[in-house]
Amino acid sequence: MKLAKKVCLIGRFAVGKTSLVKQYISKQFGDKYKTTVGVSISTKEVLINDIELSMVIWDIAGFEQDGHYAHYLRGVHGLIWVLDGTEPESFEILDIISESIPEIKQIPSICFINKHDLVDEWRVNDEDIEKLKSHNYAVLNSSAKTGENVDAGFNKLAELMVS
Partner 1 sequence: MSSERDILKSLLLKEELEVLSQLKQKILSEEQFTQEISRVLSGAIKRAQETDKGFERALAKPIKTGVTKAFTENKQSIVDSMLPIMGQLIRKTVTNSIKQFVSDINRVLEQRFSLKAIKWRWQAFKAGTSYAEMVFKKTISYQVKELFVINRENGLLIQHVGDNDMLIDNNAVSAMLTAIQDFIGDSLQTSESGLSSAAIGDVSYFISLGPKAYLATVIKGSATERLKEKSQQLIENIHAEFSELLTQEEKYQQDPEFDVYLRSHLLSKSISDTPKKVNWLPWIIGIVLLISGLIYMSYQKRQKFNAVENLAQSIEGLYIKSIKQTDGQYIITGLLDPRADTTKLIGPNIVLNTQAFISLDPVIIKKRIRILLDNHKNINFDLFDGNLLLTGNIEKSASEDLLSELTAIDGIRSINNQLSYIEPQSIAHLLKEYQNKFQQMAYHFDQNTLTISGTVDYNSYQSLTKEIRSQYSHIKLNDSAILISDSTDKLINIVEASIINFPNEIEDNSAQYAKLADKIEKIFNRNNSLTLEIKGESDCYGKTSNQHSDIRAQSAINFFTQRGLDSKRLIKKIQPCVNYIIKPDLSKLNVTFDFNQISKADLQ
**Least distance CB 133 / partner 1 (angstroms):** 28
Contact 86, 38 (CB under 8 A): no
Nearer to partner 1, 28 or 43 (CB): 43
Contact 109, 103 (CB under 8 A): no
Q: How far apart are CA 144 and CA 86, in angstroms?
A: 14
Among 26, 30, 49, 68, binds partner 1 (CB under 8 A): 68
Q: Is the dihedral of CA 87, 92, 94, 97 positive or negative?
A: negative
Taking CB under 8 A as the rule, does residue 3 contact partner 1? yes
Contact 40, 24 (CB under 8 A): no
Taking CB under 8 A as the rule, does residue 72 contact partner 1? yes
- What are the residues whose beta carbons fall under 8 Å from the beta carbon of 156, sequence distance 6 or more? 110, 138, 140
Taking CB under 8 A as the rule, does residue 43 contact partner 1? yes
**Least distance CB 134 / partner 1 (angstroms):** 27
Instruction: Considering only the stretches 4-12, 16-24, 90-98, 150-158, report the one whose residues sit in contact with partner 1 under the rule CB under 8 A.
Output: 4-12
Residues in the site for partner 1, rule: CB under 8 A?
1-6, 13-14, 33, 38-39, 41-43, 54, 56, 58, 68-69, 71-72, 74-77
